[in-house]
Structure 1
Amino acid sequence: MSVDAFDFNKPPDEERERLGIALWAQMFPTIDELRAKLDGPYMLVQPGSTLDVDDQFLGRWRAGGLQGGAMAASMDALLTARMILEAGTLPITALYPVFRAAIENASLGIYLLSPDARDERLVRAYGIAADEAHKQFEFQKSLGQDWTESRDQLLAEIRDLVRARGTLGDAEAFRPTGSSHTRIVTSADRVISSDPALPHNDRMPLVAVWQLLSGMSHAKQWALVTALHRTEAIVNEADQTAQVRMTSGTELVALVLLRAVEALEVALRLHGKRSKTWTALPEDTADWTGQ
C-alpha cells in the first residue's frame, strides 16, 4: 500500500508558513500597546466609576484583583510567546500551553467585567472567589495542612457581602459556585464576537481554539493529529502504522496568537469602560456612597 492511502504525511505549505510569520510579527506592536495599558494610568479606577462602586460589595476581593491578576497573567503569556517567536525557534507543542493560558486568563477578565448589571458581576466575582478558596483548600490539604477554618471563613465573608448588597436573596442560602473554563471562554467568545472594534467573519469559535490548545497541552493524540504537520513518514504497511516527524506550523501559531491578543484587547477595553466616571451606568449613581 502507498503512504498516501493512510494520509500519514500532512506537509506544510511554504507560502502559508511565510504568511504565518508575517502575521504574528504584525501583532507585536499591539502586544506593546496592551502592555503599556496594563503598566500605566489606564488601569486607574476613578471615584464613582462602575468598578469603584463594585468595590463597596467585594470586601477583600476589591481593587480588581480577580480580573487584574488574570489580565496580567495573560499579558505575561503573550510576552513569553513573543520572546520565543522573536528568537526564531518554534517548539513542537510547548507554546500551546502558553497560548492556552493567555486565552483562559483574558477570558476570565472578560467574564468578570462584561455584564452591565452589578448583581451579575458580583455573583460571578463571588463564584470565582469561592472557587479560589476551594482550590487553596485542596492545595493546603496536599501539603498536609487543615485549611478548613480559613476556607469556611472566606465563604462566610462572601455571605456577609451578599447580605450587605441586599438584592441577591437570602444570604444564608446563597451558594457561590465557580465557573468551568469552558463556560468562561464560551462567555468571553460571545462578548468578543459582538465587539464592534473587531472584524467578524466565519472562523473557529474561541472555545474550539481553547479546546484544541488544551488537547495539545495534554498531548492528546486527536489534537496533535489535527494541528501539527506530519512529514517523513516511515510506514509499517503490515499493521498500517507509521513513524512520522511532527512539526508546528507558523500559520496555526499566528491564528492562536491573534485570538489571544484579541481576547486581552477586549478585556482591557472593558476595564476602561468600567473604570472611568464618564462611562458610569445609572445604577452606579444610585449605589455609590462616596466611600
Structure 2
Amino acid sequence: MASVAGNRFKQDERRRNADHVSFLKHRRFRWLWIALMLCIVTGLGYAMIDQEPRPNGGSWYGYTLGTIGLLLIVWLSLLGVRKRKITTGQWSLKAWTSAHVYLGLALIVVGTLHTGFQIGWNVHTLAYFLMLLVIISGIYGVIAYATLPSTLSSNRKEMTRAEMLDALTALDRQLESAAQPLGREQTDLVIAALEQDVFYGGAWGRLTGTYPGCKTNRALARISESGSEAEERVHALLVKRADQLGQIRRHLRIRALLEVWLFIHIPATIALLAALLAHVVSVFYYW
C-alpha cells in the first residue's frame, strides 16, 4: 500500500510540474525536435534528388511534400476544435499547442520545397503566401502570449477591470464636487473630461495607446496647480484621474495586442483552406 501511495504521489508531482511548463518547452521540446527532423529530412531529400529540372510541385517529390503539407495544415487548423476538449496525457491541449507551433513553423520549409521555388500569379502561389501569412501571424501570437501576460498582470496591480472602472468612477464623483467653486470656463473643462467616453479612440487608439483628444489631459493643462485652493484640489484629482485612465488604457492596449493577431490568423486560415482546395482541385484537373 505504501509503495502504491508513493507512486501515486510521484505521478501527482510530475503532473503538477508539467502543468507549470510552457507549451513551448513541453516534454523537453519534443515537438521542436520532431519539427527540426522533418525539416532536415525534407531538405536533404530535396537536395539529394538527382533530377533536372529541380523537383517542384508537379514532380513526385513535390506531390509527396504537398501531401505532407496539406495533412499538416488540416490537422493544425483543428486546434480550435481541440481547445474545446480538456484532457491530459499524451495529447493534452498543451501537447497539441506545442505541436501546432513547431509543426506550423516546419511548414515554411515543407511548403517552400513543395513550390520548387517557383512563384507566379496563380492560386498555387496564393495558397503559399496565405500559408506564410498564417504562420507569421501565429509567430506574433506566440511572442505575445509569451511576453504580454506578465505585463498585463503588473499593470493590473491585483485589480480587475471592473475595479479599475470603479476607482475611476469614485474619482469622477470627487472631481464633480471639487469643481463646483471653479469659474465657468474651468468647470466646463472638468465636465467635458468627465463626460468623455473612457473607451473612446477606437481600435487604433487601443492598439497604439495614443489618445490625442483626451479631455482630461486638456483640463490638466488649463487648470493651474498653483492657483486657488479649489484649483489645486481639482488639479490633484485630475492627475489621479489621468493616472487611472492610463492604467485602464494600458490594460486595453495589452489586451488588444494579445488578441489582434487572431483577427488575421483565423480568417487567413479559412482563406488558406479554401485556396488549398482550389489548388488541389486544379492540380488534379489538369494532371
Give the TM-score of the pair, scaled to structure 2. Answer: 0.30
More strand by share: 1
In proportion to residue count, which structure has more helix? 2
Higher relative CO (CA 8 A, sep ≥ 6), structure 1 or 2? 1
Task: Point out the structure with max Rg over C-alpha.
Answer: 2
